[in-house]
Structure 1
């Protein structure tokens, strides 16, 4: 009689109250053993559970990867059933006023981090005939105002996942892009904490109040628990979809993206963010 082995799930970015935290809880509820990563300065009491192994990891640091991989191998005996690329950060700013140094940091976490994880862990996933899950966003599909650089990271992650899905198919590995809608997480808090504001000389200065209100917004969101329940149930099915749209506003974005012209989003955001105010406002001098 063959004993059934544990299913092992590795999730990056499991800070308290976020998506990673909620995903860890729901994978455990489904009988999985979870390796949850945190930055060294983050608290970890929220992950105190016998089926959760908490390990420090900065996904932007290549030097940490080999010792981290050895830790994971010792826990999983070389089988990794699910890798969830969840760690992410946000930077809100108009495309024209973007500080590229901030964007480089964001790409390092949101795009190069998942690439690094796949590079180091793909053989363990192939061995288990497992799944790679990328936490994307509707921002990577629609031109959400003031989020050009964040949107770019998610669009890059989506397309990386699309190509990875084809390349991993011969090995029996599923790749799933989660197209996340509005979920109540901590990702927007960095903009509030840093008092993100437009530069004084920005050509968007006439709508500075709209930008500030956007940074401090409280969107209509799905809870992380509800979000994680849906994601975990989908990922653990034998044939998960290539793209799983989940979270508030996903139905609207999906319908507009599928059935209407690309410029429909332009028309909507132009009005929602009162961009008409800027017409004729720029004076050289």
Structure 2
């Protein structure tokens, strides 16, 4: 997997899976445009990428502090990336949020917030990047979830948003295949990041949640962000040139399990 002279745009790159993907792409020689809401965390990711980069002469990552629900701000991302690098080869739509709630207690405000971040922003950014990907015969990797593939209670709006991303992935893959652009998703199970704590889960609840993952994931544990990052890089690479429209579980076998 070689991304030398390739420009990779990653959203949600300030932490978790997005940050891990940025570091892995840096190891593989990519030029990076990193989008996030927290500039301090983006700079931390930048440092890790620079330490991981094999080519000391490679360009420093472009850091873009952006609220992806702000339409006008999203439109400037493309301009800034092209001004610095002149092209875009890979788009990794990773930014996302999770909140708990069922049909009985998920407000429309919660639903709208989840769909705006997890789906609408992905739609807009992808739409804007596609003309550049057609030029470079590039590709898209969306970060979905096992929640897009299977039903889980008490995360209703999140499940709906990730199912939407899976269908979006398949549809975009079919639409862009004639133009040489691939589109795939990775569908992680529980991965140790700050996602759940940011949703309001305290330390004690989170430890119990991870302990429970030993029984809900076939491999007996939660995943690491690096394991998902490896799958993202594979799908974005020339090792996956005959793969498109794939919703790829990276979930320790959770998608294959049934309660007994």
Q: TM-score, normalised by structure 1?
A: 0.76
Q: Among 78, 81, 84, which residue is 1:69 paired with? A: 78
1:6 aligned partner: 5
Structure with a larger share of its residues in helix: 2
Q: Secondary structure at the match of 1:73?
A: helix
Alpha-carbon distance between aligned partners in 2 of 1:183 and 1:222, rounded to the nearest angstrom: 4
Residues 11 and 94 in structure 2, CA contact (< 8 A), matched pair in contact too: yes
Q: Does 1:217 align with 2:218?
A: no
Residues 181 and 245 in structure 1, CA contact (< 8 A), matched pair in contact too: no
Summarize the Cα distance change of 1:216–1:152 in structure 2 as closer, same or farther, 3 Å threshold.
farther
Bigger mean CA offset, 102-111 vs 59-68? 59-68
Shift of 1:7: 0.3
Q: Secondary structure at the match of 1:132?
A: strand
Summarize the Cα distance change of 1:248–1:179 in structure 2 as closer, same or farther, 3 Å threshold.
closer
Residues 151 and 159 in structure 2, CA contact (< 8 A), matched pair in contact too: yes
Summarize the Cα distance change of 1:187–1:75 in structure 2 as closer, same or farther, 3 Å threshold.
same
Q: Secondary structure at the match of 2:124?
A: helix
Alpha-carbon distance between aligned partners in 1 of 2:194 and 2:248, rounded to the nearest angstrom: 20
Alpha-carbon distance between aligned partners in 2 of 1:167 and 1:244, rounded to the nearest angstrom: 16
State the aligned residue count: 235
Residues 12 and 20 in structure 1, CA contact (< 8 A), matched pair in contact too: yes
1:248 aligned partner: 251
1:116 aligned partner: 124
Residues 152 and 159 in structure 2, CA contact (< 8 A), matched pair in contact too: yes
Summarize the Cα distance change of 1:114–1:123 in structure 2 as closer, same or farther, 3 Å threshold.
same
Bigger mean CA offset, 106-115 vs 55-64? 55-64
Summarize the Cα distance change of 1:230–1:5 in structure 2 as closer, same or farther, 3 Å threshold.
closer
Q: Does 1:146 align with 2:154?
A: yes
Q: Deviations over 1:88-114 (max 9, x none)?
A: 000111221112201101110100011
Shift of 1:142: 1.0
Q: Among 31, 52, 68, which residue is 2:61 paired with? A: 52
Q: Secondary structure at the match of 2:192?
A: coil
Alpha-carbon distance between aligned partners in 1 of 2:97 and 2:29, rounded to the nearest angstrom: 29
Bigger mean CA offset, 229-238 vs 111-120? 229-238
Alpha-carbon distance between aligned partners in 1 of 2:205 and 2:12, rounded to the nearest angstrom: 27
Summarize the Cα distance change of 1:252–1:65 in structure 2 as closer, same or farther, 3 Å threshold.
closer
Alpha-carbon distance between aligned partners in 2 of 1:5 and 1:20, rounded to the nearest angstrom: 19
Task: Indicate the structure (1 or 2) with the bigger Cα radius of gyration.
Answer: 1
Alpha-carbon distance between aligned partners in 1 of 2:39 and 2:186, rounded to the nearest angstrom: 28
Q: Deviations over 1:199-219 (max 9, x none)?
A: xxxxxxxxxxxxx95896224
Summarize the Cα distance change of 1:46–1:214 in structure 2 as closer, same or farther, 3 Å threshold.
closer
Summarize the Cα distance change of 1:41–1:252 in structure 2 as closer, same or farther, 3 Å threshold.
closer
Q: Which runs of 5+ in 1 are unaligned?
A: 196-211, 257-264, 272-285
1:134 aligned partner: 142
Shift of 1:5: 7.1
1:90 aligned partner: 98
Q: TM-score, normalised by structure 2?
A: 0.82
Q: Deviations over 1:144-175 (max 9, x none)?
A: 11111100000011111111111111110000
CA RMSD of aligned residues (A): 2.3
Q: Which runs of 5+ in 2 are unaligned?
A: 51-58, 214-220
